[in-house]
Structure 1
Amino acid sequence: MNKQTCEKIKFMLSAIIIRAEENSDFIKGIDFTFKSGGKEFKGVYNIDKNMLCYNGQNLNIKLNDLRNFISDESIKYDSLELRLLERGKTTILSADNKNVKIKNIDEEALEDYDEHERTGINLKRSYYIKIGEADDLLKAIGILTKDGKLKNDMIRKYNQIDHFVELIDSYIDEFQDYDTINVLDCACGKSYLTFVLNYYIKEKKKKNCFFIGIDTSEVVIENSKKIAKELGYKNMMFIKDNIKNYNPDRRIDIVISLHACDIATDMALGTAINFNAKAIFAVPCCHRELLEQIKFDDLGEIFKHGILKARFSDLLTDGIRGLLLEAAGYKVSIVEYISPLETPKNLLIRALKVKDKDELAWKKYEDLKKRFCINPYLEKYVRI
């Protein structure tokens, strides 16, 4: 390529390098191909290690110096195609003596561009996390086998995590004006939802995001770190600790909790309230706290049946949680998360912050406390 073309390449590479620096958590790498006659000369740049593999050599080159290296090399060849590989998006610079241009391609379109045909499994519904598009993710969290087949014993889990995304999708749109959405997963366990939401928010909704997972189990925390590294999800951190001890070093926008047992759900909800999170998504697990507290003489003939008292306690617990969230200024909906045939613990509490405090909701909560002689843990944990 001539000198004028090489100068254009250097100029356009400047914009690509700036994007790579600003979005380093989401950059997978940079690769390029020079062509001369019928021969190709390929290079791959590791942005984390500042290492370029080119023509059989490993070269230590800083990201900012890569621009000069490529533009200087361009004069030896007929054409160049360079790709900045970002999660959910690829920026392509193509150049020859006729033209130098940049185009952005979403991941779905890139598959067509690369003529890479993929097959998925149709399970009779339109999935948000699609087999074929999200295979790396689904393999890493154990939903798919290494050859891309859906595991029979993970079909239920796959349906659950996808339906969770479906139920909160519209809430994510509330964060259009946010530069980065910060998500805290309380009692994250195996972190299925954290990894899935990371993929969905960044690669499908095209929003920058950062995830923090907290759990008291060192085993699950180390495993989550391993999966994040395998996927190249650099916008994640996992902490072994009790949620009560956590002090964030950044704004917390969304708090999620999946099947946190008994008052662990209250701790998650309370943490969200105390951190003034804009949105909360919690699927409670077992309920024990209020079962031994409930006293209501008018229902004595019903409560004498232990199973009925336990079920009433479950409903009251989640109803009280919703009411306290309303008192803290959240708009709350409680919906069925999955079929009760799969598990009776099948409710999803969704909450969106809309005001500072609701005095009427607080009064209703106080009335219910007196009526059923209860003292819920959530009230003691939160600052309202």
Structure 2
Amino acid sequence: MNSKNIGKLKLFMMGIESRFAENNDTFKEIVVTYKAGLKEFVGRGAYEEGKIKFNFSGVTKVKTIKEVVSSILEEAEKYEAVNFIYRERGTDILITADNKNVTMKNVKVKEEEKETKKIHFTEGTSTLLNRSYYIKVGEADEVLKAIDIMTKDGKVKNDKIRKYNQIDHYVELLDPMFEKLAQKGNLTILDCGCGKSYLSFVLNYYLTEVKKIKCNFIGIDIKESVIETSKAMAESLGYRNMEFYAMDIKEFKSRKKINVVLSLHACDTATDMALAYGIKEEAEAIVAVPCCHKELLSQYSYEPLKSILKYGVLKARMADVLTDGLRGTLLEAKGYDVSIVEYISPLETPKNLMIRAVKIKDEDYKAMDNYMSMMAALNVYPALYGFLNEWEYEE
């Protein structure tokens, strides 16, 4: 290839170097094809601990991105044309060069396949909703298979359709929030009581590959077995922007600024611990889907409603309302804009609320006084308030 176009190719490849250095967490592979007449010679490179394991002409070496680019440019001089593909999660960068021209373009992966792919089911009756999905079959197959929503041959499992709908609706509810947070740059998202981290894996896919938002995920859970499962899944998917720790959230100290705190179905006061951690870290957003509510049931009393609360089932339901209502009120007092919405249908589970809180201002002392008055009126001492006081005292 002539020296003029080798020079142009070098400029494009310098951009590839910068891209890898800035965000190699999303890098998947390099494929370079040299052409001489009808013959083609292919080289491939995969990620290995911050470098690239590159194979060409039967020889495999681990090199830095700079060394790989240098060797590709040197080899290109010997051939009539070269096609270079830099693959990262959700995008392929294609560079083609010959003696006439050098071009570069970004291509959304499997674009043609995505446009024509239809949803297929395993045997049985489908209950997929008539809606446009955020986590689309055909685009998100890799992660849907990893979390056991989809079979190996690309069919949505009928016994997982409800779970698929829930996961997709979760993303739908959070999408506007992340749209606003994207301007803050690289987001660090903490999943408290992450379990097997299914929702974090799906969110990771959506934010990284669909929305093109740079993000890192940290999963915390007290159970070592689920943490090991999450680590293995992240490795198999190539999601290097995820890390997991088996520990109590009280013991966790982040090296990075935490932008978003998530908590899904953390039992009873574990939800309060996650909310308190988010408030303490002044996270820009906190999202919780609470599970069982036990704490306030044995605490609260309210004389004007005594004749109603004598019925056990009504007192229990009121305890649920008070628990999440007080959580929302304290978040507002700490400067968050709060919404409490139905996450899924109450026909599926009575524990179906999502608390979304976005930081908009400093602490509101008037709102805090109102919260304290409600505590006194109800004769309660909520765990969220207790965790916040405990952490403030320790500091």
Q: After TM superposition, is the score higher than 0.5? A: yes
Give the superposition deviation at 1:118.
Answer: 4.0
Matched residues in 1 for 2:200 and 2:224: separation? 17
- Give the Cα–Cα distance (whole angstroms) in 1 for the partners of residues 181 and 71 of structure 2: 39
Residue 31 of structure 1 corresponds to which residue in structure 2? 31
Q: What is aligned with 2:193?
A: 187
Whether the aligned pair in 1 keeps the contact of 2:117 and 2:137 (CA below 8 Å) is no
Residue 88, structure 1, aligned to residue 94, structure 2? no
Alignment deviations for residues 218-259 of structure 1 (CA, whole Å, 9 cap, x no partner)? 110000000000110000100000011111111000000000
Q: 1:47 to 1:334 in 2, by over 3 A?
A: same
CA contact (8 A) 2:129 2:165 kept: no
Cα displacement (A) at 1:17: 1.4
Q: Distance in 2 between matches of 1:115 and 1:305?
A: 55
The structural deviation recorded for 1:56 is: 2.8
* Alignment deviations for residues 316-348 of structure 1 (CA, whole Å, 9 cap, x no partner): 000000000001000000000000011000000
Letter in 2 for 1:260: A
Moved more, 65-74 or 323-332: 65-74
The residue correspondences of 1:1-384 to structure 2 (distance < 5 A) are 1-48=1-48, 50-107=52-109, 110-112=110-112, 118-121=117-120, 123-382=129-388
> Helix, strand or coil for the counterpart of 1:291?
helix
Q: How many residues align?
A: 381
Q: CA deviation at 1:76?
A: 2.4
Q: Is the 8 A contact 1:32 1:42 kept in 2?
A: yes
Task: Look up the equivalent residue of 1:165 and give its one-letter code.
Answer: V
Compared CA separation, residues 115 and 166, structure 1 to 2 (3 A): closer
Q: Which amino acid aligns with 1:40?
A: E
Q: Distance in 2 between matches of 1:149 and 1:226?
A: 23
Q: Measure the CA separation in 2 of the matches of 1:153 and 1:137.
A: 17
Offset of 1:115 from its aligned partner? 10
Cα distance in 2 for residues equivalent to 1:126 and 1:272: 32
Bigger Cα displacement from structure 2, 44-53 vs 174-183: 44-53
Greater Cα offset, 360-369 or 23-32: 360-369
Moved more, 363-372 or 153-162: 363-372
- CA gap of 1:146–1:304, structure 2 versus 1, over 3 A, is same
| CA distance in structure 1 between the aligned counterparts of 2:372 and 2:52, rounded to whole angstroms | 60
SS of the residue 2:258 aligns to: coil
Q: Distance in 1 between matches of 2:355 and 2:44?
A: 46
CA contact under 8 A between 1:78 and 1:97: conserved in structure 2?
A: yes
SS state of the match for residue 40, structure 1? Answer: strand
Q: Aligned equivalents of 2:62 and 2:336: distance in 1? A: 52
Cα-Cα RMSD: 1.7
1:5–1:97 contact (8 Å) kept in structure 2: yes
CA offsets, 1:75-122, max 9 Å, x none? 222211111111122211110100012112223xx433x899644347
Contact kept, 8 Å, 1:33 with 1:80, in 2: the verdict is yes
Does the 8 Å contact 2:94/2:104 carry over to 1? yes
For structure 2, the residue ranges without an aligned partner over 5 or more in a row are 121-127
1:302–1:308 CA contact under 8 A, matched in 2? yes
Amino acid at match of 1:120: I
TM-score (norm 1): 0.95
Q: In the aligned structure 1, how far is the partner of 2:149 from the partner of 2:170?
A: 15
Write the distance in 2 (CA, Å) between the matches of 1:209 and 1:115.
24
Distance in 2 between the 1:344 and 1:194 partners?
Answer: 23
Gaps of at least 5 residues in structure 1 are: none
Cα deviations across residues 27-86 of structure 1 (Å, max 9, x unaligned)?
111111112222221111123253211233323332211122111111222211111111
Shift of 1:173: 1.5
Q: CA separation in 2, counterparts of 1:373 and 1:151?
A: 48
C-alpha separation in 2, matches of 1:213 and 1:146: 26
Moved more, 221-230 or 43-52: 43-52
